[in-house]
Structure 1
């Protein structure tokens, strides 16, 4: 595999600056995919099969964008009315970058789109019932983090919000807007939070004081305090997942794992469990198989 930030030797000199190669990495979403179903990981990270987002996913992405913009405002302006005002501009910017998202609303009445925006407003209202953003000054929102562990696995992801107290204590905050089954959703969410905790621990040498999940659909929060021993065990779990991915990647042997989560999968037509046939294996992807999408981060 190529090292980080390297280019192939036959790359024209004029294109070197634009063809920077990135090492394959493990993100919380892709690690969770592999744990859930190795074949799903292959479809998403290797084959890059297209997936049609749901309106709920788009709504989650929109709410995340609004909350990021809200914290960019002076503290006194972080009020519910201002958050609602940010919805329209945020959607305009998001859909301009990905015009195919607007196709989900083709043929609908204007009132239908307005109702969808109102459902996003309800999630924002629920957020304000959980905390007062005027009293917070996050160190970062939508923070990109990346680190290589001693074993060589590269971890990469995006943290919704990072709060750092004057005493140096760290809190990782994640907003949840999806409608996955609660018991499954919480397990997946906590896996994601421990992933970020390991990355921050290795980057900063500090175990996060709190991992906080904010469920905007039902207006509830879940807080968890990890310890160093737990993060060390979880780090070994991530290394084992990555080794399993690399092993499967050499041969293309990504097995399907049927579960009730299959009901939400876009790829049943290609899945042997449903009578489908996967595409011909294209080989392990280079340079990168680890990036998360905005839809991943809005789960």
Structure 2
């Protein structure tokens, strides 16, 4: 007959084992990241709160356009270009990266192959050539062999004193031997120039603020490189401006959280609606949004493929 003492010992050992198993499971289970604000999602809310909801809360799918995916390919090519030794970063070398980059992207996201129907080899070849033309546009703006970036496609995060977590990706970060910082962003999209530049400058100030909070240094220059137009725009922020911008982001986040409690994300119709994937769901155009699912978990701050492209 088994004694009560033995039974108690077995039960205690079982409890210890289960605790260890639970801890291992908890360690292996990805934890949801804290809600954060990215430049693209902040821009969405500024443009149209309902668009923010569709993208960040409902997470409705959007079919990327050929232009958006081409931008992703060009960004990846330029990142790989800077992985080559200085002196080897030539136009021919960059062109040789275009097709393999597209092939790798399709391998990662097979649905992108649907952009080009079977038998549309001529269309694909023309599209890849247009990506090569954007790469050529980059070489007219600077010589990559004279540069040694600190990082490309850099994920940055910073928490403000208010508790707001900022998160975003920087196309390229240049740091001079004297410590001065330059943030570089490549633009390949076809948005109307005045609207595109305003959104891009908002994005660049976002990065400047995050870097200032992370490193204690205000970036010396924010540089936008328009590869299609073969033009660049440089901007020099200052500390006072970034403090004002910080308050702007905090106000945007407060408005997002307020809307998130009730689901009251209102549409803001504009000429940009003609390019919106969700126009048919928008009440401003007679549509009906899906039922509000509540504030999202995990983090709604992630940026999409299209966001990263332009």
TM interval, short-chain normalised: over 0.9
Hey, what's the Cα distance between the residues in 2 that align with 1:131 and 1:139? 17
Q: Which residue of 2 aligns with 1:128?
A: 139
Q: Which residue number in structure 2 is paired with residue 76 of structure 1?
A: 87
Aligned to 2:178: 167
Correspondence for 2:282 among 261, 264, 271: 271
SS at match of 1:278: coil
Match of 2:192 among 181, 186, 192: 181
Can you give the 5+ residue segments of structure 2 that lack an aligned partner in the other structure? 1-20
Cα distance, 1:20 vs structure 2: 1.2
Alignment of 1:87-236 (within 5 A): 87-107=98-118, 109-236=120-247
Query: Hey, what does 2:64 align to over in structure 1?
Result: 53
Q: 2:31 aligns with which of 17, 20, 42?
A: 20
Residues 85-104 of structure 1: CA distance to partner in whole angstroms, max 9, x if unpaired?
Answer: 00111111111111111111
Displacement over 3 Å in runs of 4+ = 11-15
Q: Deviations over 1:42-92 (max 9, x none)?
A: 000000000000000000000000000000110111000000000111111
Q: Distance in 2 between matches of 1:234 and 1:108?
A: 50
Which structure's residues are more often helix, by fraction?
2
Match of 1:8 in 2: none
Query: Aligned pair count?
Result: 289
Q: State yes or no: 1:286 paired with 2:297.
A: yes
Cα distance in 1 for residues equivalent to 2:278 and 2:92: 40
Q: Give CA-to-partner distance per residue, 1:186-245, whole Å, 9 cap, x none.
A: 000000000000000000000000000000011000000000000000000000000000
Shift of 1:19: 2.4
Q: Which of the residues 246, 251, 270 maps onto 1:259?
A: 270
> Which of the residues 37, 42, 48 maps onto 1:37?
48
Structure 1 spans left out of the alignment, 5+ residues: 1-10
Q: What corresponds to 1:4 in structure 2?
A: none
Q: How many angstroms does 1:108 deviate by?
A: 5.1
Structure whose CA Rg is larger? 2
Q: Report the counterpart of residue 6 of structure 1 in structure 2.
A: none
Aligned residues: CA RMSD: 1.1
Q: Distance in 1 between matches of 2:283 and 2:22?
A: 42
CA distance in 2, matches of 1:284, 1:80: 47
CA offset digits 1:157-210 (Å, max 9, x no partner)? 000000000000000000000000000000000000000000000000000000
| Distance in 2 of aligned mates of 1:298 and 1:109 | 24
DSSP-derived class of the 1:76 partner: coil
Give TM-score, length-normalised by structure 2.
0.92
* CA-CA distance at 1:295 after TM superposition: 1.9
User: Could you say what secondary structure the match of 1:203 adopts?
Assistant: helix
Q: Matched residue of 2:87: which SS?
A: helix
